[in-house]
Amino acid sequence: MKTKTAALALFVILSTCTGFCMEHTPEAAHTPMATTSYLNPADRPFDVREKIDEAFLSLSQQANSTWNCNGNEATYDMLQFNEHTLVRHLILNSANQIEFNFLDLGAGNFGWGKALTTFLDQDKDVQIHLTTTDAVINIIGVRREQHSDAPCMSVGQINRYEFGGFKVEEIASEFANERFAPHGFNGKKMDMIVAHFCLHHLVDPLGTFLQTYDMLKLNGWLFFNNFFFRTTDENTSKDSKLIDRTFEILDYTGASFIMKPLINMRKHEIILQKETEDLLQLPFQYISTCETPIGHPFQSETVTTFRHTGERRKIFPELKMGHPSLIYGDHKLHDWFIENSFLPQVPSPDLFIQVDRNI
């Protein structure tokens, strides 16, 4: 009897120390013991990691990219904005910078990087600048599909990298992978990242967005489309629509941005500029995964669910769909684009909606 009592006491002590819970809930089964109330991809539960691995394995076995809407274009022209002209501006107005890094996330057939290399190589002012400053330009494209060509090609002081079999959803650590580490990009900050038609196809676009944003330099630029996820305070049934939380996520960044909403709330075009060196803190914790609702063409067929750990932000403007020239965002940033001829025209006042940031 004493032996049984002692064993039971030991079990109770161990259960208390290890956080064991006799009451098993679905949420507890999927949620790791997060060390912070902010989002951390290291806290991804097993089922989220499993779905990420499945999606990666499916694409990484392909020898070529089959995406027709991403990776073939010379420029992505988001908001009618030619990214190459901004790259040129960054280079020519950074006299003391000796290395520039531009990343295409989900690069498809690497068309953007190839065209940018040609553009910069043929620009006389850029070539004079590179000769004068001895600066180096790195243009990096990554995709999940395989890529058999040489990973690095150089034209003068411009290096173009094409990495296949790259785990995009673990981008913060993937450059440390033994296949990519020799190229020296682990821990490097980026001057610009483009993620055209990429994030919304991932299992965990929110966690990938967090990693991507933190890779930007101070005043670095991110071009991307909106993405979706679930939270526990909404209907998560398969026939319920996903809630667009684009404004909320942009507000958490504290970055200046402009955004053009597109049809069916699926592919807004967004340009933002990072304004602080602080790591991004998003008040979410991982819970699990669920199936995508009917009518949302996500490649992974999976949506990640989170618990919101902070107060909801203020009410944002209701998105008005349908007008091809309607733009939301920061007026000063938009005006700067116009003044430097990055955008083609000034919209009429009723077609620009200022979004004040809660920072």
Q: Dump pLDDT digits (tens) for 96-151.
A: 999 999 999 999 889 999 999 999 999 999 999 999 999 999 999 999 988 877 78
Question: Token pair for residue 75?
Answer: 């420029």
pTM of the full predicted structure? 0.86
Residue that wins the pLDDT comparison between 181 and 347: 181
Residue pLDDT, tens place only, 218-255: 999 999 999 989 998 877 666 677 888 888 999 999 99
Q: Which residue, among 127, 106, 128, has the nearest Cα to 117 in the 3D structure?
A: 127
> Are the CB atoms for 138 and 100 separated by under 8 Å?
yes
Distance CA 283, CA 37 (A): 6
- The residue among 331, 197, 206, 354 whose CA lies nearest residue 280 is 206
Sign of CA dihedral 166, 214, 109, 113: negative
Residue 344 to residue 109: CA distance in whole angstroms? 28
Q: Is the pLDDT of residue 298 over 70?
A: no
User: In this predicted structure, what is the pLDDT of residue 313?
Assistant: 67
How far lies 201's CA from each of 119, 143, 281, 311, 328, in Å?
29, 13, 23, 28, 24
How many helices (H) and strands (E) the chain has is answered by 10, 13
Spatial distance between the Cα atoms of 43 and 49, rounded to a whole number of angstroms? 10
Residues 325/347, Cβ–Cβ less than 8 Å = yes
Distance CA 258, CA 274 (A): 13
Q: Sorting pLDDT into bands at 50, 70 and 90, what band is 350?
A: low
Neighbours of 173 (CB within 10 A): 12
